[in-house]
Amino acid sequence: MRSIGHFINGVRVEGKSGRSADVFNPATGEVSARLALASAAELDAAVASALAAQPKWAATNPQRRARVFFRFVDLINQHMDELAVLLSSEHGKTVEDSKGDIVRGMEVAEFVCGIPHLQKGEFTEGAGPGIDMYSMRQPVGVGAGITPFNFPAMIPMWMFAPAIAAGNAFILKPSERAPSVPMRLAELMIEAGLPAGILNVVNGDKEAVDGILHHHEIAGISFVGSTPIARYVYATAAANGKRVQAFGGAKNHMVVMPDADMDKAADALMGAGYGSAGERCMAVSVAVPVGAETADRLVAALAPKVEALRIGPYTDAQSDMGPLVTRAAQQRVLSLIDKGVEQGAKLVVDGRGFKLQGYEDGYFVGGTLFDNVTTEMDIYREEIFGPVVSVVRAGSYEEALELPLRHQYGNGVAIFTRDGDTARDFASRINIGMVGINVPVPVPLAYHSFGGWKASAFGDLNQHGTDSIKFWTRTKTITSRWPSGLKEGAQFSMPTMA
């Protein structure tokens, strides 16, 4: 059986802790690999490697750092098929979906090829008599990223690409459910010319996470996962003097106005709600049609599409979606569907009985659609993270707007309408970090920032875009004056630029 260790100081190394976990193929339920779980000593070795390599990397001029990412992007394109199949085999999503995962991460690597411009400081000549002032952005040192299973390529690249481009070294702790692609990405970074020690991958569980949060040599931490863990990571890392960004859960609404193109809205909702089996933090899990007629039309359009979903293993190129990632995830989703029925929601399409011949032990759940869902129900309040869409009927635009406004999560939201005034009002008033207008999954492109509000994010700066460069650097401001600008004698009052 395949064994997966760690990636430290530029090479793969075997695990030495004696602890391990199984990696599964979600389509079959079979164990595909054994993953080593890091000890404190192995984390220390990775950090030591990073500390030794980082000063020289930081001193490397930015255009040379950028060239590593130019080559890295080229290598990703060369290995796209290999990476996608490897990703699908551990996550379960379709190969085409995996390619999308990889491309959206690669776009951030492309963005940081502009690091010579992105890391520039500012300069003011003549800020005072004979005084010049300038600032520079310098790396924080050693950073770390703790990433989830649902985007094993994209989110690691969202983290390590800006950090490394800015001159930091990086420790990546990927999800133990889908560890193989992060290991390959580290190898490709070395092949692209990255010095050994700048990117290390330490596989592990909570012990490794806690080690990162408390390690005195790690200066900054980026995290993506559930909201309870995001709160824990944020509080613990901040208490240990680290800068931290921690992104949590979501409950993304899609408001459908009466004037929306219903066929396009239904198609958009299908992809956003059921793509990747709903295992996306930007998945639309709540549809909010405005008015009874709109709701009836939307449900009538959705139901046959949900029933016709093609569900299968990643090896089937015709599949629309695959299984959930683990048996526990499957059981949780099925339990929440049961609760929805018990609490009075109308089950329009029931995905609980889905079985696939030859894959009876896979972690599949069929597409599920609820109507007449209310805000008190568990299927509305909780992030399901599965192929379940709830229709919450609203009597008016204001009632529809109130739903995402009042929900604890604030990751993404969308509105489908032909009315520009309504769309503009919605975008202005909503308290959500990412807004789509006739766009169901409003994940910004790499040169804008990604991040939610409320209980979906903790910290002041977002992922990718210019926020990522600010997060992984510190500003140093220099005030310089030469003898021609010096006054005679000691000055005891607060200095001014007069």
Catalytically annotated residues: 281
Supply φ then ψ for residue 410, to 5 degrees: -145, 45
DSSP SS3 for 441: coil
Q: What's the token pair of residue 277?
A: 């089996």
How many CB atoms neighbour CB 421 within 10 A? Answer: 8
For residues 161 and 69, the answer to whether their CB atoms sit within 8 Å is: yes
Strand-pair category, 6-8 with 11-13: antiparallel
How many CB atoms neighbour CB 456 within 10 A? Answer: 26
CA–CA dist 389, 156 (Å, integer): 28
Indicate left, alpha or beta for 130 from its phi (over 0: left) and psi (-120 to 50: alpha). Answer: left
Give how far Cα 429 sits from Cα of 101, 284, 395, 423, 425, Å.
31, 20, 19, 10, 6
3-state helix, strand, coil in the chain (%, to 5): 40, 25, 35
CA–CA dist 241, 218 (Å, integer): 10
Residue length of the chain: 498
